[in-house]
Amino acid sequence: MKSVSLILILFLSFCLHAQNATTTKLQFWRGELGMNDRLEIPFLFSLEKNGKKYKMTILNGEEKINLRCTQKKDSITALFPGIDAYLKFKIDGNEMRGYWLNLNKKKLQKIPLHASVNQKLRFEWSTKEDPVDVRKKYSLVFDDDTEKNICVGLFKVEQGIIQGTIMTETGDYRFLDGNVNGNSFKMSTFNGTWAMLVEGQIIGDSIVGYFYSGSSYRTGWRGKADDNAMLRKESSLTYVLNDQAVNFFSVRSLNGKPYRSTQNSNTKLYQIMGSWCPNCLDEMVFFKELHKEFANDGLEIIAFAYENQLEISSALSKLKKFAKRMEIPYTICYAGSASKEVASATFPMLNQIMSFPTSILVDKNGKIRHVHTGFSGPATGKVYEEYKEEMRGIIKTLLAE
């Protein structure tokens, strides 16, 4: 009888231990990035603890970024997918302190991080006022743009939560998320490469505010509600001037040797990008889809990467790791430093390269048939879906010729 009781006790103890070892605890946190002595950019995230392992997810509205966590003693490192950036922090009860380390800049960027648990509002207001009507679409102009080119704000508000993005000619600001209080709103986003904050006020059909990015950039912006607001046509931004060939002189394969362009009759898609550019990463996800759909039909994709590293060996080393992390199925090569002037020199047949990313479609005879400046990604919703449909249509036409 004693032996049966002992076995039962051991069994119950084992079950209790197994249950504790697999207990999952999910908490929601609000973090603040100390960009400078006057600016803190907030972001929301969840932290899940399963036994001794952690899983962290950045929450930017509809966007969810899963970070891979490792732990050494009481210090946790959370690595962003695809990009060279991570969070390093320690948890003390309901508080978290550490740093955001961004290696995508020319110099290491180390930004203080503080977070508190059980905080679900990105922005807190001293008084709560009913939100005014925020229109879905606005035509915007930034104060620092001397040419006063039109940008487009896309917003939606539900129960005091505002989400959306701002589309510019070089790319969108990805998933912005925040809160509305009366006629004022604040939105932010954080993805490991970017930390952005948007402040605004609604005055009738007008909108006015400030935009903050990184540790020092700040500019004003203003605009009006406009259901027909749109960016300039891509064909008016980057276009073909002459019949010069691509300048492959400084372009290198990832093995460090000069890149040799394939002499075949494939339809080619050139991607002008950088591993430090979030819009480029969004575009790369779509281009991986295109490669899967059309590679066997004769579509060849070549990415020309322009990087922040001053030494070629460092840039090549980083690109190799980047290509492996992103599981890029098509050719990627190093084309020079992260400069629009350097990129323009690679493509002398164009009037300019004004944006990372820029994509170029070349037909089977080597003639440029389409140039797309910038990239409006998943945060732009319908605009993104229409762009993907347009690109697929052009590729199918070129492949059928």
Q: What pLDDT, on a 0 to 100 scale, did the predictor assign at position 10?
A: 47
Q: What pLDDT, on a 0 to 100 scale, did the predictor assign at position 9?
A: 47
Fold of 21-117: Lipocalin (2.40.128)
Q: Is 33 helix (H, G, I), strand (E, B) or coil?
A: strand
Report in angstroms the alpha-carbon separations of 80 from 33, 152, 294, 308, 332: 16, 29, 30, 18, 21
Bridge partners of 373, per DSSP, are 358
Q: Is 238 helix (H, G, I), strand (E, B) or coil?
A: coil
Q: What pLDDT, on a 0 to 100 scale, did the predictor assign at position 13?
A: 53
Q: Are strands 195-203 and 184-190 parallel, antiparallel or unpaired?
A: antiparallel
**How far does Cα 211 stand from its chain's mean position?**
17
Terminal-residue alpha carbon distance, the chain:
86
Does the fold of domain 234-400 match that of domain 21-117?
A: no
Q: What pLDDT, on a 0 to 100 scale, did the predictor assign at position 213?
A: 94
Give the mean pLDDT per block of 10 residues along the chain (401 residues): 48 49 80 95 95 93 96 94 94 96 88 92 87 94 92 94 95 96 96 96 96 94 96 89 92 94 88 95 96 97 94 93 94 96 96 96 95 95 96 97 94
CATH number of 234-400: 3.40.30.10
pTM value?
0.89
* Of residues 289, 290, 285, 46, the one with CA closest to residue 174: 285
Q: Could you give the angle at the alpha carbon of 185 between the alpha carbons of 180 and 186, nearest 5°? A: 115
Q: What pLDDT, on a 0 to 100 scale, did the predictor assign at position 310?
A: 80
Q: What pLDDT, on a 0 to 100 scale, did the predictor assign at position 5?
A: 53
Q: Domain segments of the chain: what residues? A: 21-117, 137-225, 234-400
Q: Which CATH superfamily is domain 137-225 in?
A: Calycin beta-barrel core domain (2.40.128.20)
Q: What pLDDT, on a 0 to 100 scale, did the predictor assign at position 8?
A: 47
Categorise residue 82: left if φ over 0, alpha if ψ from -120 to 50, beta otherwise: left
Phi, psi of 22 (to 5 degrees): -110, 10
